[in-house]
Amino acid sequence: MRKRLAAVVLLCLLSGCLPVRRSCKGAGAAAGPEGGGDRTDRCPAPRAHAPFSRDRVCAQSRWPEAARGYPVLPLREDSDICSAAYTPVEEMAEPDPVSQSNFRQIHVTHSDYELDIDFAALRMEGFVQLTAVVKEDGCTKLVLDTRDLTIIKTCILPSKCEKGVDFSIGSADKVLGSSLTVELPDNLTKGQQVVVGVHFKTSPESTAMQWLEPAQTAGGTHPYLFTQCQAIHARSFVPCQDSPGAKMTYSAAVRVPGQLTALMSAVPVETKPKPDFSILDAKPRTQTFYFEQKIPIPPYLLALVVGELESRELSPRTRVWSEPSVVDSAAHEFAETPQFLDAGELFAGEYVWGRYDLLVLPPSFPYGGMENPCLTFVTPTLLAGDRSLANVIIHEICHSWTGNLVTNANHNHFWLNEGWTVFLERKILGHVFGEKIAQFHAANGHLDLIAEVERFGPKHPWTRMVVDIQGGMDPDMFYSKLPYEKGFHFLYFLQVLLGGPTIFEPFMKAYVEDFKLKTLTTNDFKEYFLTYFDGHPCVGGIDWDAWLYSPGLPPRDNYYDLSMAKAPYALAQKWHESDATGVGGGGPAGVSSADMDNWTSGQTDAFLAKLLGLRSMVPMHKTLTRKMANIYGLDNVKNSEIRFGWLKLCVMAEDEAVVDNLVDFLKLQGRMKFVHPLYKAWGASKMGRDAAPRLFREVAHSYHPTVRKKVASTLGISA
């Protein structure tokens, strides 16, 4: 064993990833581009952005990896790889700057809802029984988050709630809402349980709820309601402790008009016990649906949809829901979902949620997907007809483990949700479609990362992995791809550093297993990582401060297989160089429609993304975009991702020929990823300075409130 260990250490020395002590006392490690922590106990790390080759393999007998002919050392069942396993503390609650609730003193662990949907008034009446566990002796009040809710009564159960108990409403903050404080019995002690009832009504202005008229649906006959509670909109749907750190289980009874169907982020059940107090008295021409969610979830994963809905089975545990005219197309598009779900279990462990259903919403849904447990919401812009946008479904499936099961403690640590989810997503892509596809997505993701850093600026604090949200800041306003791609970049770097997938994938599965049902901070992740890899010769060289807290691009580059990206990137470079100064011309020599023969839609999208990056400072001239349109037929493309990239390129070029196409696209859907950047580019252009605000005022009512707010802010007009 000693000989083997010596050989492995020698391999690490030769590969350059084992820290070597030299006579350099007092030298500090090189930090990221904006600085980082000084470290005087080892020699300087390689300079920022130094190439890090995947062929440089660190290994030790506890972390086997096959590389350059070195054999895989099999793990024994009695291996000490996890003998020093990190044990998370029982309570990880960290203060949440965007919640006024007191979940660290008393934690709502279960909510039992009765919800009555009123389409005529655009309101929901509700009663909730909140089962709360006292976490500090002497706690005398339960403080909940609310926004635009009318509180009718509160009470301590079991009782008939006729008299109620005292409550107070705090002053309104436009972002945080108003705190609801309910007085509790005296002399409560830690561990004691109390049940509080709250009778409430929502407002038509609820930012969580979008009410659609029949004309806004595919069927055109019935109204439609859906909710979107992430990031902090659950408080405008129900009174709750609206923080990711306040996980709870829930059950619900939902009464809706008789011809409509209700679904929630939970498993449907036949009925539920009648509560101590009920608002759902007999009412004609209605029906009631019942749900149960036995896995603790953060409130932002509460979800409800009501509409004319049908489903198609994809597997015994998976079905797709949508309006009747859309459901068959959706079933075809997402037929691979069961395969993706099975692959997720290979990498992350058992799928514990029971069902995995998909719901295709009307076009105003603001995101590509929302990972509501048991019922993922997705945009109809994914219905490309060729299953080419399936990676969005894979991403939402991955949240079943990273995000939903293992959750960031608050929004400062959002990268733990999204960075891990992108990492797992690309594991599944590689498993199902081949590693070249996963590498292609990683390379394109890096372009997105570069573009986001350029958009914010390399020193902007929101380009850090761990951000610092102060009280009163709206998490929606700095939503970006940064936590997704910078988080992925870091995890991929760690995988390469430690020796590759056979070493890192067991860690990923152990991480999910040990933190499931819990929340964690970045420091919790760091401590767990260092404990798991204790003794690994490559861990000591990680500059945690530079990775986690420095703004701008990551401190080290990753290298991906660019074989699928080579042709799109080269063609983008050719078009870029033909008009480097943006004054126009005849375009590059030798281009033709054959340039894109046999390309996937993803490669066409990558071509446009690369070209957009190259032209971020100097837009192309419109004579070049017109030539491109004529050669490649890009004016007629229907794939939403390609259409978006093309329209943005043309808007930046002041190409008036795409205005009708642009207007149609902005009216057709309300996805934040597409709508906000297009309005921003169009509003900043000469041709859209007046036209962009005018169109927005015309169609803003069809957009989700989150989209309306962000676009209005960008255009400098009222929402």
Mean pLDDT of 316-345: 97
CA distance 108 to 461: 33
Q: Which residues are catalytic?
A: 396, 484
Structure tokens at 630: 């004529």
- 481 in a labelled binding site: no
- The answer on pLDDT for 43 being more than 60 is no
DSSP structural state of residue 385: S
- Assigned token pair, 666: 């902005």
Select from 282, 385, 623, 348 the least CA-distant residue to 507: 348
| 75 vs 5, more confident | 5
Bin 164: left if φ > 0, else alpha if -120 < ψ < 50, else beta.
Answer: left
Rounded-to-integer distance, Cα 640 and Cα 603, Å: 14
Instruction: Tell me how many degrees the CA angle 448-453-456 measures, rounded to the nearest 5.
Output: 125
**Nearest by Cα to 491 from 534, 434, 540, 427:** 427
d(CA 416, CA 521): 8
- 367 is annotated as contributing to ligand binding: yes
671 is in an annotated binding site: yes
> Rounded CA gap, 150 and 62, in Å?
58
* C-beta atoms surrounding 568 within 10 Å: 27
Rounded distance between C-alpha atoms, residue 272 and residue 275, angstroms: 9
Quote the Cα angle for 557-563-565, to 5°: 75
Tokens of 535: 């003794």
The edge-to-edge listing of strands for the beta sheet with 150-157 is: 150-157, 193-201, 123-134, 106-118, 248-257, 286-297, 267-269
pLDDT digits (tens, 9 = 90+) for 110-156: 999 999 999 999 999 999 999 999 999 999 999 999 999 999 999 99
Q: Is the pLDDT of residue 15 over 70?
A: no
Q: Is position 669 annotated in a ligand binding site?
A: no
Q: Which tokens go with 346?
A: 């290979």
368 appears as a binding residue in the annotation: yes
Distance CA 367, CA 352 (A): 25
**Which one, of 435, 296, 320, 442, lies nearest residue 380 by Cα?**
320
Torsion sign, CA atoms 135, 139, 144, 149: positive
- CA 122 to chain centroid, in Å, comes to 28
Asked whether 248 and 106 are in contact (CB, 8 A), the reply is no
Residues 6+ apart with CB under 8 A from 257: 117, 119, 222, 285, 286
Evaluate if residue 352 carries a pLDDT over 90.
Answer: yes
Candidates 161, 159, 643; CA nearest to 384 is 643
Say whether 652 counts as a known binding-site residue.
no
pLDDT exceeds cutoff 60 at 17: no
pLDDT of amino acid 276? 66
Average pLDDT of 621-643?
A: 97
High-pLDDT (> 90) share of the chain, %: 81
Q: Phi and psi of 669, rounded to 5°? A: -145, 165
What is the chain's mean pLDDT, rounded?
87
Contact 312, 320 (CB under 8 A): yes
Res. 20 pLDDT band, cuts 50 70 90: very low
- The radius of gyration of the chain's CA atoms, rounded to the nearest angstrom, is 27
Q: Indicate the pLDDT class of residue 279, thresholds 50, 70 and 90.
A: confident
Report the share of the chain in percent with pLDDT over 70.
87
**3-class SS string, 527-546:** HHHHHHCCCCCCHHHCCHHH
Residue 228, annotated ligand binder? yes
676 among the known binding-site residues?
no
Look up the pTM and report it. Answer: 0.86
Query: Is there a binding annotation on residue 551?
Result: no
Q: Is 672 annotated as a binding residue?
A: yes
Kindly state the average pLDDT of the residues 570-579.
96
- Is 673 within any annotated ligand binding site? yes
Torsion angle in degrees (nearest 10) through CA of 147, 149, 153, 154: -30
Mean pLDDT, rounded, for 272-285: 77
Length of the chain: 719
336 burial level (CB within 10 Å; 0-12, 13-18, 19+):
middle
pLDDT of residue 25: 27
Q: How far apart are CA 557 and CA 385, in angstroms?
A: 36
| Mean of pLDDT values over 686-715 | 95
Is the distance from CB of 294 to CB of 249 less than 8 angstroms? Answer: yes
| CA atoms 695, 699, 701, 703: torsion sign | negative
Amino acid at 583: V
d(CA 372, CA 398): 12
CB 35 within 8 A of CB 53: no
395 is in an annotated binding site: yes
- Annotated binding-site residue? 566: no
